């Protein structure tokens, strides 16, 4: 992790109660962020990681657990409006290949649309850094889950290119 981009910054972790998201929460909390915003759509997983973080939160960092989906644009806008965020770790995703294969539209909606939502909102609210947690299955994908994660990667890359072009245009003026 980029320690200098976490210490005293507001960090948002999507999929905070999942296997990857919860480990990010634990590790990032130890790096003294100013605030840790947890977004998770599973109540039990959010409760579990929040309770664990409260125990290990020796520096009294503000932890804000938010129950909801990254597909809910209105919720995301409210979160970003009320909590200036410096860094987003986007770990929210459907990752179980057999379930996504049986529910391809939900897999695409969750993995691609939620990423697009977060990119748009992060851009609007001038988030300093956006990190997508992807998967090795996105490399030459052979299934819907891998393809949905590859599309999510392409969405993030497209936003980065757009932001870079805008920054270059502003510098030449």
The 10 Å Cβ neighbour count of residue 84 is: 13
Query: Is residue 119 within 8 Å of residue 156, measured between CB atoms?
Result: yes
What are the tokens at 61? Answer: 């960092």
Catalytic residue among 95, 116, 137, 149: 137
Write b or e for each residue in 129-149: b if 16 or more Cβ atoms lie within 10 A of its Cβ, otherwise e: ebbbbbbebbeeeeebbbbbb
Q: Of all residues in the chain, what percent are helix, strand and coil, respectively (each to 5)?
A: 55, 15, 30
Q: Any idea of the CA torsion for 137, 141, 147, 153, to the nearest 10 degrees? A: 60
**Distance, CA of 29 to CA of 171 (rounded, Å):** 35
Joined together, the tokens standing for residue 17 give: 């109660």
- Is residue 137 flagged as an active site residue? yes
Q: Which residue numbers are catalytic?
A: 137
């Amino acid at each position: 992790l980029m320690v200098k981009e976490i210490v005293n910054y507001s960090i948002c972790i999507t999929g905070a109660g999942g296997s990857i998201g919860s480990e990010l929460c634990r590790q990032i909390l130890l790096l003294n962020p100013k605030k840790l915003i947890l977004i998770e759509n599973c109540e039990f997983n959010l409760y579990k990681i929040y309770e664990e973080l409260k125990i290990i939160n020796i520096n009294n960092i503000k932890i804000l657990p938010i129950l909801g989906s990254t597909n809910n644009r209105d919720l995301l806008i409210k979160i970003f409006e009320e909590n200036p965020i410096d860094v987003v770790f986007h770990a929210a995703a459907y990752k179980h290949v057999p379930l996504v294969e049986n529910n391809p539209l939900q897999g695409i909606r969750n993995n691609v649309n939620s990423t697009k939502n977060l990119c748009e909102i992060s851009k609007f609210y001038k988030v300093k850094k956006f990190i997508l947690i992807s998967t090795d299955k996105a490399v030459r994908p052979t299934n819907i889950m891998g393809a949905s994660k590859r599309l999510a990667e392409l969405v993030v890359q497209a936003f980065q290119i757009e932001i870079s072009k805008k920054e270059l245009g502003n510098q030449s003026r």
